Chain A
């Protein structure tokens, strides 16, 4: 059935792998981004709703 059909597409198992790599890179990016934010900016952002 369908699974055999999928195996017929070259290297179908690459799709899940791509997704994890993408996610890993992306997540690292976000972590990097927030860890380099200045405390003062963070504080300013935090207080926005209360202004």
Chain B
């Protein structure tokens, strides 16, 4: 028996930590910009920056992706690379893999930002990146997992601390989620169609979307919480037993809750109910975790008062508690009926994002950088300033958004004494502008806090000296065998592979039971006979709608409420049916109604001229509108080089275009385009038939018209 001497690699931790800070600023800045665009849609026009690359629909995914995958992603890796080595008493498995992981991830982020601004997007929220980048993500994720498992396997500590469980659960589940949701058929480099259509696509997407929150924003951060709070407070976690329950209950329940994003939609009722019940159950493990985190600090509250690190962590855990209380509430159907599609949801995610992820990351960084650089924090005062700027930022963000969401949700549903809708849609929007301004200011506060932090930590790094490697020693694992390895219940803590398979099984059960029935239905979806595939021009128009991110502001899903059918389908009072979406690869139901629902736009508003003028300048037709202008659509020529391939691809996916249709697709496209150009001409608008706007109008005119044919 001899002690082995080895070194922890701190360079990779430092690199991820600085990447976290860089992307924090970038992601939050993008957030502040989109926030102000919602209040002042012409903001960028006034400084000459309103281009197609910087319009709201394209910048919004830049913000969400930058925060989730760049800021929080790098935060996760910072925490994992630091804590895993220490908990395993081993250096990372391979420095080379660490290096590939780091640079691979940063390249993905840069590619993501560039391609999203160029309009390459699948339209699926938090999975917008196109297929070549999806493949890159898969490769880099495997590199990360390989490196992590290599380290766990060569560890010198027989027990795996609960933080490692959370990391393993994260790795496995994110891999499954990414693979399943990214099933798409490439048409060309950077363009693909989702394999699934309509209801199924929606179910898969929100199974993914919900669990991206669970397994990217939550479980890895819980691992970080379980490591760094004890570390920073210098006392062990309150209850280790509770942390085990927290882990298993959380990964088991989370995976079922996705359908709560689709309440009152065309998703089958039983799936909706399942989502509701499991969502409500989620509160138990989540609160168990929160209490566990907070009670770890029992008897140390005097420390909390003086330590910025602990202050940030306490607020983070509290926000985790608030967000996980609110989540189940929002899953109740009667609450959801008001909150869904409004800014209430935006407030909810930001309590999680700004409070839980943001503040926990800040706490971790304030603790980590001085340790890595063997020095004290440059300025505690600045850290406290950051704390207050951040806290104020959260409040200024969340309160107006709750208010806005609640107000708008109610206004949508209000009737006059004679049974008419009380408010036009636009009225409910202009009413929100002051709230949007306040929210933007809240964002500015939060962002300036983060800038103060970056300054403070760079100063700290400069005044210290970086420790590239930390020396440590421990017995080799084989020399420790006799200690307690025989107890059957140590089975999991000691066997990473079993842990991996265990989490995989738990997660797959949830995924399968939820999805299999919905996929079985495929043959049974009653195809509404009158619902026809998109014409080539409409299909191109739909792709423009996706490219411009119109779905980030517009839903296409009329829920079965009187207030909604009356607003969006006043003629026939029909809500949206599953059969209407069978050719929708991908589905475009949307999740936010900043603008009105467009599911029946072709019925309620078929006027080509109106759309033409509206797209050029929304405020000319709709006073006070906050929709961006799209002047480039009027100028750019429609790219029809892929039309043929698109038709063929859609047929592969099961859309019943007749054999040989791709050959005449371009003729059909030109004929339809000419028709719309002629219609515009009659209204004194002279344009060429080959412009993008024509295709977009064709798509808008088609929306919701098929189902009407049948009724007549």
Contacts and interface: CB of A to CB of B under 8 A. Distances in A.
Interface of A: 1-6, 8-9, 12-13, 15-16, 18-19, 22-23, 26-27, 30-31, 33-38, 41-42, 44-51
Contact of A46 (B236, B266, B267): B236
Interface in B208-263: 226-227, 230-231, 234-237, 240-241, 244-245, 248-249, 252-253, 256
Dominant SS among interface residues on chain B: helix
Given A42-B241, A46-B240, A19 B256 contact: yes
A5 B526 contact: yes
Interface string B48-64: 00000000000000000
Interface of B: 83, 86-87, 157, 159, 161-163, 199, 226-227, 230-231, 234-237, 240-241, 244-245, 248-249, 252-253, 256, 266-270, 273-274, 277-278, 281, 484, 487, 489-490, 493, 506, 509-510, 513-514, 516-517, 520-521, 524-526, 577-579
B487 A50 contact: no
- Nearest first, the 10 closest Cβ-Cβ pairs linking A and B are A2-B578, A5-B524, A46-B236, A48-B161, A46-B240, A30-B248, A34-B241, A49-B230, A6-B268, A42-B240
A35 to B, nearest CB: 8
A31 B524 contact: no
A19 to B, nearest CB: 5
Nearest to A20: B277
Contact of A2 (B268, B487, B489, B514): B268
Contacts of B524: 5-6, 8-9
Contact of A45 (B199, B240, B256, B520): B240
Given A27-B249, A41-B487, A15 B231 contact: no
Contacts of B249: 27, 30
B489 A36 contact: yes
Nearest to B492: A33
B487 A12 contact: no
Contact of B493 (A1, A8, A23, A45): A45
Nearest to B235: A50
A12 B237 CA distance: 43
A37 B517 contact: no
B509 A22 contact: yes
A23 B268 contact: no
Nearest to A4: B526
A30 B244 contact: yes
Given A34-B241, A37-B241, A6 B513 contact: no
Contact of A37 (B230, B269, B489): B489
Contacts of A5: 521, 524-526, 578
Nearest to B518: A6
Contacts of B579: 1-2
A16 B274 contact: yes
B159 A49 contact: no
Contacts of B266: 1-2
B252 A26 contact: yes
Given A5-B525, A46-B236, A16 B273 contact: yes
